[in-house]
Amino acid sequence: MIASLIMPGAPSFMRRRLVSWLLLFFGVLAPIAAVVVGYVRRDRITSLVLDTTVLLIVQILCALFVLTRLVAVIEVINNRHPGTRKRLASFVAVFGTLVVAFPAGFSVVRADQLTDVINDVFVTSGGSDPLAFSSIGASAGDGDEFHNILLLGGDEGPGRWALRTDTMILVSVHRDSGRIAMISIPRNLRGLEFPDGSPMHDEFPRGFDDLTNAVYPYVYAHPDIAAQYLRGDLAPEAIALASGIAHSMNVTIHDYVLVNMQGFLDLIDALGGVTVTLDKRIPMPGNVPGAKYRYPDLIGPGEVQLDGTLALGYVRSRAADSDYSRMGRQRHLLEQLAAQTSGSEVLLKFPDLAKVMRESVRTSLSTDEFAFLADRLRSGVNIQESVGLAPPFINPGNPDWVDIATLIDALQDAIKSGVDFPFA
């Protein structure tokens, strides 16, 4: 009986060879092969756990793992020797089957939950075209050599999407080398322009008359405009914002990632926090929505362990310096979080992460693209440049779009060539 639980099919090999081979293959060899594949591809663990086909295979293997052992113990009971102690054999069969069924069932449930999260978080446009093209068209070069992702952090809580995008970071990934640049876009950038003939251009032919972080809620509040930016299941507000940024800054934007700030707080907590090294004291803000306790007056200098509440205060505080320095802290925190988070940690902390992601994260990235970006960010060294579109580079109140486009081109050339950014 014990042998049937450990090596299903082995005790019955001389009686039913075909059945024994099937039990051994599906109950032992297939699970071992899956574990070996997972170990060999452990450097791509993110892409594996985000592949719904892989998750389905895991569920099937878990079910077969239990089923083969159940069949094996039944076969042994039915063919037991007359002198066998029936009660003991039955007890071992029931207890052993439950022991293997519990972790297998747990894995099936977790895989099913992750599949639901993937379907909720990774929304689709129904096509493969970029969200928004540069002002001189798709042949501008960056559309082929770089994958540009607009990272948006909003000021609302979980499940609420009518937000101001106080955090806007353009993440540019050089496709061949995997090197990454992060470019912060000021929330107070004025006069964002939109392509001729677009709904927002018709509404604002001379440029958006408010701060750039107000584009998202403006489109949300005008269903007639939002309807013209619909693309599959994507957020039309994010597409409108991406369209304005792409046109104004002459850069193709392929995808977006949208995170509510309350969800950002919970995400940091779920990952166990992040450590940053500060070169000066940072005053904490007085009242940040979602904070779980009262902030201390100051954090730093030196090494500081941030939980979600402190991390949110760190990236939102303007008392220490300015809005533009805050943009730098946001990029710094993302760099440290990516570098300090391993794939194994994500798997171990999956239940909390799944809940946070479902309620607070939406992205147009495919799971393969997201896994590629996560793996590059986690390596840390691939984040070659990190800059903000702030004085003295630009004047957010009266931006020169040609200068901004030139700066972004120079930054992309730097990560493409592996050299230092010339404007740093």
Q: In the structure encoding, which two tokens stand for residue 1, read together?
A: 């009986």
Q: What is the pLDDT of residues 226-235, one digit of tens each?
A: 999 998 889 9
Characterize the bridge pairing of strands 302-306 and 274-278.
Answer: antiparallel
- Judged against a pLDDT cut of 60, whether residue 138 lies above it is answered with no
- Contact criterion met (CB below 8 Å) for 255 and 170: no
Confidence category of residue 139, pLDDT binned at 50, 70, 90: very low
Longest dimension (CA), the chain: 94
* Contacting residues for 300 by C-beta, under 8 A, at least 6 apart: 278, 279, 280, 281, 282
Report the C-alpha gap between 140 and 397 in whole angstroms: 27
pLDDT at 344: 64
- Contact criterion met (CB below 8 Å) for 270 and 356: yes
- Judged against a pLDDT cut of 70, whether residue 424 lies above it is answered with no
Report the C-alpha gap between 91 and 122 in whole angstroms: 46
Its pTM stands at 0.78
Q: What is the pLDDT of residues 170-187, one digit of tens each?
A: 989 888 887 888 888 988
3-class secondary structure, 364: coil
- Please give the full DSSP string across 103-150, using - where no structure is assigned: HHHHHHHHHHHHHHHHHHHB---SS-S-SB--TT-GGGSHHHHEEEEE
Q: What is the pLDDT of residues 276-311, one digit of tens each?
A: 988 888 888 776 666 788 888 888 888 999 998 888
Q: Is the dihedral of CA 351, 354, 358, 361 positive or negative?
A: positive
pLDDT at 135: 67
Report the C-alpha gap between 12 and 76 in whole angstroms: 7
- Judged against a pLDDT cut of 80, whether residue 78 lies above it is answered with no
- Judged against a pLDDT cut of 80, whether residue 84 lies above it is answered with no
pLDDT at 218: 94
Q: Which of 109-113, 196-200, 335-339, 411-415 has the lowest mean pLDDT?
A: 335-339
Of the candidate CATH numbers 3.40.630.190, 2.120.10.80, 2.60.260.20, 2.40.128.130, the domain formed by 127-424 belongs to 3.40.630.190
Report the C-alpha gap between 383 and 375 in whole angstroms: 11
pLDDT at 248: 94
Q: Quick one: average pLDDT of 179-199?
A: 90
146/371: higher pLDDT: 146
Report the C-alpha gap between 42 and 30 in whole angstroms: 18
- Contact criterion met (CB below 8 Å) for 105 and 62: yes
DSSP state of 206: T
Confidence category of residue 148, pLDDT binned at 50, 70, 90: very high
**Closest of 354, 358, 397, 12 to residue 211, by C-alpha:** 397
pLDDT at 109: 87
298/349: higher pLDDT: 298
Which stretches of 10-137 are assigned E, i.e. beta strand?
none
Mean of per-residue pLDDT scores for the chain: 82
What are the residue boundaries of the structural domains of the chain, listed by start? 2-121, 127-424
Q: What is the pLDDT of residues 350-407, one digit of tens each?
A: 677 777 888 888 889 888 888 777 666 655 545 666 778 888 778 889 999 999 998 8
3-class secondary structure, 102: helix
What are residue 361's DSSP bridge partners?
A: 259
Q: In the structure encoding, which two tokens stand for residue 354, read together?
A: 């799944």
- Characterise 329 by phi-psi region: left (phi > 0), alpha (psi -120 to 50), beta (else): alpha
Q: Is the dihedral of CA 16, 18, 22, 25 positive or negative?
A: positive
DSSP state of 398: S
pLDDT at 141: 44
Which amino acid, residue 100? Answer: V
pLDDT at 143: 52
Characterize the bridge pairing of strands 146-154 and 255-260.
Answer: parallel
Report the C-alpha gap between 217 and 301 in whole angstroms: 37
Task: Express as a percent the part of the chain with pLDDT over 90.
Answer: 22
Report the C-alpha gap between 279 and 238 in whole angstroms: 35
Q: How far is residue 36 from each of residues 4, 41, 106, 220, 371, measured CA to CA in Å?
A: 23, 8, 21, 48, 20
Instruction: Count Cβ atoms below 10 Å from residue 127 Cβ, excluding itself.
Output: 8
Instruction: Count Cβ atoms below 10 Å from residue 272 Cβ, excluding itself.
Output: 14
